[in-house]
C-alpha cells in the first residue's frame, strides 16, 4: 500500500458500540471517511423524543455526510458513486445486500463482538456471560452473504471478569475493536493478512433478544441465575413478578452477590432475610440481592427496599 494514498472508506453503523471504531478511523490519517450510513432517528424513552443514533452524533462533530435510509439497498447507487476502497460495518442492524458487498475493491469489513465462529448473531456479548465463558473477544472479518460467516482477518481476546455485565463487556469490546481495527485494515490492504475461512463445524448462532427473554427462572441453580442477571443487564434486564396488594408487578433484579449462598430450606423464588440483607431462594442455593427496581419506581439498594417493603419478605418471586 502506498502510504501517501488514503484509504477511501464508507462507515456503516448505529449504536454506541460503533462509535470508538469510527473515531479510530477518523483519527487515523491514512483513512478518508467519505460517508456514514446509519439507522433513521427514532423515538426514545417514555416521552418518545426523536433521537439520532450515536454514530450520527459522532459523524456530525467531523462534518462527515450522513445517510439514514430505511433500507440500505436504497443507497446502492450512491455508494457506487463514492467508489470506496472498502466499507466498514459495525453493529448496523440490517443485512448488507450482496450488490453492496461487491462494490468496494477490498470488500466489506465487519467487527463482531465474539471470537467467531462462536456466537454468530446479535446477542453474542450476552451469550458469553450467560454460558460462563472465561474469555470472549472481537473478530474482524470480511463479510459475505451469510450471517457472520465470512473469512477472518484478525481476532483479539479479552477476559470476562466475575462482575462484568453485558453493558460493561459491551464497552470493553467496543474499545478493543477500535484498538484493533486501523492496523488490521492497513495490513489487509497491504496484502500482509490473508483472510482465513471459519470452521463452520464449531459455529453457534445467538438470536436477537426480546424483552420477555429477561424473565428469571428461579427453578435454575443460583450460579446460572447470577450469570443470567449480569447477561441481561442493562437490556433487556432480568426481571420477576412480585405480588403487592393483590396485583403482580415486575421487579428488576439489577445486581446480586457473585457467590451463591449455600441455603436451600426456602421455597423456590422466596424472599428471605440473611444477616440483615435480602436474599432469594433458587432451585439450588440462594442469591443475595444488592440492587433492584420495582415497576414504576427508581432503582434502589436492597437496604432501601427493606426499609419500605419489609412486609414483602416471605413473598414468592414468580
Give the distance, in angstroms, between the CA of residue 53 and the centroid of all CA atoms in the same chain: 15
- Helix, coil or strand: residue 13: strand
Q: What is the mean pLDDT of residues 194-212?
A: 95
Residue 7 grid cell: 484509504
For the domain bounded by 7-206, which CATH number is listed? Answer: 3.40.50.170
- On the question of pLDDT at 1 being above 80, the answer is no
Q: What is the mean pLDDT of residues 79-105?
A: 95
> Of 122, 211, 140, 135, which Cα lies nearest the Cα of 169?
135
pLDDT band at 82; cut points 50, 70, 90: very high
Q: How distant, in Å, are the alpha carbons of 22, 25, 171 from that of 61?
A: 12, 14, 21
Q: Strands 7-13, 86-90: parallel, antiparallel or unpaired by DSSP?
A: parallel
Each residue's pLDDT tens digit, 187-196: 999 999 999 9
- On the question of pLDDT at 53 being above 70, the answer is yes
Q: End-to-end CA distance of the chain, in Å?
A: 61
Q: What is the mean pLDDT of residues 153-164?
A: 97
Domain residue extents for the chain: 7-206, 211-312
The pTM of the full predicted model, rounded to 2 decimals, is 0.94
- On the question of pLDDT at 164 being above 80, the answer is yes
pLDDT number for residue 253: 98
pLDDT number for residue 241: 95
Per-chain mean pLDDT for the chain:
95
Each residue's pLDDT tens digit, 97-133: 999 999 999 999 999 999 999 999 999 999 999 999 9
Please, what CATH class does the domain formed by 211-312 belong to?
alpha beta
Percentage of the chain modeled with pLDDT above 90: 92
Amino acid at each position: 500500500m502506498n502510504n501517501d494514498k488514503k484509504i477511501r472508506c464508507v462507515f456503516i453503523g448505529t449504536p454506541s458500540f460503533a462509535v470508538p471504531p469510527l473515531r479510530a478511523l477518523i483519527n487515523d490519517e491514512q483513512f478518508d471517511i467519505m460517508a456514514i450510513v446509519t439507522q433513521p432517528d427514532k423515538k426514545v424513552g417514555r416521552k418518545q423524543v426523536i433521537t439520532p443514533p450515536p454514530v450520527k452524533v459522532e459523524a456530525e462533530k467531523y462534518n462527515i455526510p450522513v445517510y439514514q435510509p430505511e433500507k440500505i439497498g436504497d443507497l446502492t447507487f450512491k455508494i457506487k458513486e463514492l467508489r470506496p476502497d472498502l466499507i466498514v460495518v459495525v453493529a448496523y442492524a440490517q443485512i448488507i445486500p450482496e450488490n453492496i458487498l461487491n462494490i468496494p475493491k477490498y470488500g466489506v469489513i465487519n467487527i463482531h463482538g465474539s471470537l467467531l465462529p462462536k456466537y454468530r448473531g446479535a446477542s453474542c456479548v450476552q451469550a458469553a456471560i450467560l454460558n460462563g465463558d472465561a474469555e470472549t473477544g472481537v473478530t474482524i472479518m470480511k463479510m459475505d452473504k451469510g450471517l457472520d460467516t465470512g473469512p477472518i482477518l484478525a481476532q483479539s481476546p479479552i477476559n470476562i471478569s466475575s462482575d462484568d455485565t453485558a453493558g460493561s463487556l459491551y464497552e470493553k469490546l467496543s474499545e478493543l475493536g477500535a484498538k484493533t481495527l486501523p492496523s488490521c485494515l492497513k495490513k489487509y490492504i497491504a496484502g500482509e493478512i490473508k483472510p482465513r475461512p471459519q470452521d463452520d463445524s464449531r459455529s453457534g448462532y445467538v438470536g436477537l433478544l426480546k424483552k420477555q427473554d429477561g424473565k428469571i427462572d428461579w427453578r435454575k441453580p443460583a450460579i446460572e441465575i447470577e450469570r443470567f442477571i449480569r447477561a441481561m443487564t442493562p437490556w433487556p434486564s432480568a426481571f420477576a413478578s412480585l405480588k403487592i396488594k393483590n396485583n403482580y408487578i415486575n421487579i428488576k433484579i439489577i445486581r446480586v452477590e457473585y457467590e451463591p449462598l449455600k441455603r436451600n430450606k426456602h421455597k423456590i423464588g422466596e424472599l428471605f432475610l440473611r444477616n440483615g440483607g435480602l436474599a432469594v431462594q433458587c432451585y439450588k442455593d440462594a442469591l443475595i440481592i444488592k440492587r433492584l427496581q420495582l415497576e414504576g419506581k427508581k432503582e434502589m439498594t436492597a437496604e432501601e427496599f427493606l426499609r419500605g417493603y419489609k412486609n414483602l419478605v416471605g413473598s414468592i418471586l414468580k
